[in-house]
Structure 1
Amino acid sequence: MSGLAGLSDWTSAAHDAALKVVADPVLRDRWLECEGTWFVGVDALPTGPDGGIGGVALPDSLLRLLPPLPPLHPAQLSVVYPGYPRPRRGESAAGFAYRRDRCAAHVDGIIAEGEARRRFVTEPHGFVLGLPLNVADPGAAPLTVWEGSHSLIRNALAGACDAGQGALDNIDVTEVYQAARRLCFKTCPRVALHAEPGEALLLHRHLLHGIAPWQDGAKAPPEGRMIAYFRPLARGGHAVWIDPAPLV
């Protein structure tokens, strides 16, 4: 989404705060991963429950395009640096290959739990909203999606829900989810999304997405390629999350 009046003011305030976040040694120790090439930054940007930061609210031009928002968690501050990806701490060789070759593609809210890494829909998000905080080249580790994957993922998980005859958050979706991802890789076009400050990236909650490798020669500011992400929970929880509606 582009041409959103007032979003540049929010972006400027968020960028100022982001520079302080990534300079904080405690936060760097907690969130700097992949051998220094990715600052994961979950809940690291000090936004308020309304999404505002530094006295600047999210603009009405953006909010009008979204359903009414619940109180928001602090935004994720995802910062990527040249050289990404490198292996994450504790990541297996297979896990790193998936990160490198498939952008660590995932659906937000489907979480691996326990030593066995079984997957459950733990966090039923309504959508994913990405707000770029600085200008970077299109090849600077762009957000990457598999076009149309949301329909395949949703259909697979809805089938698991029907077969499980229980609440979705209690159903182990590991095999169904992994099979759906493989189908998406075979049938859905992989698309890199590029946006600049003042624009917004709005993803369906079931959309398969990840971070592409940093391409040789791609440029970004010294602080890296920065994007803030909001993931509000779906109103109505899991029962609404599985619905095919665009935004909830």
Structure 2
Amino acid sequence: MTDPGWCRIGPDPAIADWARAALPVAEQAIADSAEPWRCGGTWFVGVDALPNGPDGAVAGAAFPWAALPLTPVPLHPAQLSVIRPGYPQPSPDESASALRFRQTRDAAHLDGLLPVGPARRRMIREPHAWILGLPLTDIRAAPLVVWEGSHRIMAQALQDALRPHPPQHWGDIDVTAAYQAARAEVFRSCPRRELPAGIGEATLLHRLTVHGVAPWQGAEAGDRIIAYLRPMLASVAEWITAP
């Protein structure tokens, strides 16, 4: 079987212990944050919002490296992605087409590509090693969505787009057209899979896997909170590789 670009880990007691220790810290960080909620008050982006240490520890709980197929590296404060019932809702800072893309395509995207300048052209500004999601609640509505095998399509497209340019300039190359064409191919050829997960589980994505968030469905109540970690790589050249 070919690598789908993701794997589920657990449930594992060490992951659960870390998540339970992190939850009250996360809830306080969310309550104290001045960051506005997006999508009509249904999404808190929460970049670097969890005050974990560089070793990943939080509130005295060690990061569960031993339960993960990863080599320990220094970690940044985790993102706290929070989804509430009704996601996504219309928002004055988002176009109608952007809302439809959330509703019909799960806001599918590739982390690491940032919109740069007034024209919001996509450039590789945050090359990261991997994406790890650690649920802090057992609410499974609005799950993470992935397109299996999309990392291989994205790797080839970005390699082709960057090849004519010197590697030292790759972070400043506009890859918007290549990215959008590759994403369209992903939608045509890659299976879409929803990955609900709860406390004690973790979801690990290849850094080039196209992913998003499904609209909230069902009667679950409360906030769906996932801590995400994306440690940085030294170069774009490392980032655009795929198995």
Same fold (TM over 0.5): yes
Question: Equivalent residues in 2 for 1:89-128 (5 A)?
Answer: 89-128=92-131
Q: Secondary structure at the match of 2:201?
A: coil
Q: Secondary structure at the match of 1:163?
A: coil
1:141–1:3 Cα change, 3 Å: closer
Q: Which runs of 5+ in 1 are unaligned?
A: none
Q: Find the counterpart in structure 1 of residue 63 from structure 2.
A: 58
Which segments of structure 1 move beyond 6 Å, counting only runs of 4 or more?
none
1:169–1:89 Cα change, 3 Å: farther
Q: Distance in 1 between matches of 2:105 and 2:11?
A: 31
* Aligned sequence identity (%): 51
Q: Find the counterpart in structure 2 of residue 208 from structure 1.
A: 210
Residue 233 (1) aligns with residue 226 (2): no
Question: Equivalent residues in 2 for 1:138-149 (5 A)?
Answer: 140-149=141-150
Q: Distance in 1 between matches of 2:119 and 2:239?
A: 25
120-129 vs 1-10, greater mean Cα deviation: 1-10
Question: Equivalent residues in 2 for 1:104-183 (5 A)?
Answer: 104-137=107-140, 140-166=141-167, 167-183=169-185
Q: In structure 1, what residue type is equivalent to 2:22? A: A
Distance apart, 1:87 and its partner CA: 3.1
Distance apart, 1:218 and its partner CA: 3.5
Q: Distance in 2 between matches of 1:132 and 1:123?
A: 23
Q: Secondary structure at the match of 1:228?
A: strand
Q: Distance in 1 between matches of 2:102 and 2:62?
A: 35
Q: Secondary structure at the match of 2:204?
A: strand
Contact 1:4 1:61 in 2 (8 A): no
TM-score normalized by the length of structure 2: 0.91
Query: 1:145-166 deviations in whole A, cap 9, x for unaligned?
Result: 1111010011000001113344
Question: Equivalent residues in 2 for 1:23-102 (5 A)?
Answer: 23-24=31-32, 27=33, 29-63=34-68, 65-69=69-73, 71-102=74-105
Q: Find the counterpart in structure 1 of residue 3 from structure 2.
A: none
Q: Find the counterpart in structure 2 of residue 192 from structure 1.
A: 194
Number of residue pairs aligned between Structure 1 and Structure 2:
234
Q: Distance in 1 between matches of 2:39 and 2:70?
A: 33
Q: Distance in 2 between matches of 1:46 and 1:102?
A: 32
Contact 1:33 1:89 in 2 (8 A): no
Query: 1:168-187 deviations in whole A, cap 9, x for unaligned?
Result: 21211000000000110111
TM-score normalized by the length of structure 1: 0.90
Q: Distance in 2 between matches of 1:100 and 1:61?
A: 37
Q: Which runs of 5+ in 2 are unaligned?
A: 1-8
Contact 2:65 2:72 in 1 (8 A): no
Q: Distance in 1 between matches of 2:187 and 2:242?
A: 21
Distance apart, 1:76 and its partner CA: 0.4
1:108–1:89 Cα change, 3 Å: farther
Q: Find the counterpart in structure 2 of residue 22 from structure 1.
A: 30
Contact 1:7 1:59 in 2 (8 A): yes
Distance apart, 1:60 and its partner CA: 3.5
Contact 1:5 1:61 in 2 (8 A): no
Q: Distance in 2 between matches of 1:12 and 1:78?
A: 16
